[in-house]
Amino acid sequence: MEQFEDKNFEKELAAALGRVEPPEGFAGRVQRRVRGGSVGRAAGNGLWSGWRLQWAAAMAVVVLVAAGNWGYQERERRRGELARDRTLAALRLTSAKLQLAKSRIHRVNQGDMQ
């Protein structure tokens, strides 16, 4: 790899990054803006400031609450379907066992009659 040795470039870079005195009255203007509460876009000049920011935050809360509610409803629906399926399986098993018991009782009773 070649070493970059352009002395002119180094001088230009040092000049560009060197200290520059602020214009007359700069410190006073900055202090007035800080005391007045109007610093840049955060004070109400930007797209996401003031009432827009409040509405965006409110809408985000509404969306999050709605999504949470939908998720809760979906989980409850799945739990209900699982409980229904288990109940139906238990009823089928109970019905099969009762049918078996009924047929055994019927066979026993038939044996007594003969």
CA dihedral 97, 100, 101, 103 (to 10 degrees): 160
Instruction: Give the pLDDT confidence of 65-109 residue by residue, as tens digits.
Output: 999 999 999 999 999 999 999 999 999 999 999 999 999 999 988
**CA 57 – CA 49 distance, rounded (Å):** 11
pLDDT digits 0-9 by tens, 38-73: 555 445 556 767 888 889 999 999 999 999 999 999
DSSP per residue, 40-80 = GGGGTTSTTSTHHHHHHHHHHHHHHHHHHHHHHHHHHHHHH
Query: What pLDDT does residue 61 have?
Result: 96
Q: Tokens representing 19?
A: 């200290």
Tell me the pTM.
0.45
Q: Are 40 and 48 within 8 A, CB to CB?
A: no
